[in-house]
Amino acid sequence: MIEVQDWGLIEYNKAWAKQRELVSQIQSQRDKSVFVMCEHPTVITIGRAGGANNILMSKEMLSGLGVSCVEIDRGGDVTLHNPGQLVGYPIFNLSDYKEDLHWFLREIEEAIIEIVAHWGIKSDRVEGLTGVWVENKRKICAMGLHCSRWVTSHGFALNVSNNLFEFSYIIPCGITDKSVTSISHEVGNDVKIEDVKSVTADVFRKKFKK
């Protein structure tokens, strides 16, 4: 069974450092996988496919709002994390499952689809795009992974009750013709992130049983 850790609200760079420590441990032990759940203070992250042109405000303006920009080694473009968004980091040894990163991405998408269905939300994939969408036009979960020696890091960002206005600082994932949404926005009331964490932990434990 995977180990589940809850890091609470944690500054992004601190979480990234802790991820790297876990990756190193798992690469050495090769007999465990860890699923991390957390939230981050508002931060913009830029993946390997990202560019500053998808950030719509200057660094000075963002700094004045207390928002930093961090270039990271995951796949994907520009995204934003903020409180009320459930960030999941599956630090998994894929050699225990299937040495196929695309398979793993699809499995995470299936897990998210199952999770949001607990709140009566019907979601799906959009062909050619990574992540999970409502009505093929509103992104409820962004994803981006890194993999080294078949150990994964980074993961997904599921919007639960976070401030969606802050996504106006960027072009999320570089996609201009779609919007973002959250579980709370879709159901019309405030959903507690602790409830979503509980469901998410259960889904991941069942889906990735060894």
Q: Which residues are catalytic?
A: 173
The answer to whether residues 131 and 77 touch, using CB atoms and an 8 Å cutoff, is no
- The DSSP symbol for 170 reads B
Distance CA 210, CA 202 (A): 14
The answer to whether residues 42 and 62 touch, using CB atoms and an 8 Å cutoff, is no
Reading the block at residue 100, the tokens are: 């196929």
Beta strand pairing status for 151-159 and 179-180? Answer: unpaired
C-alpha torsion 35→81→197→25, nearest 10 = 10
Distance CA 127, CA 196 (A): 26
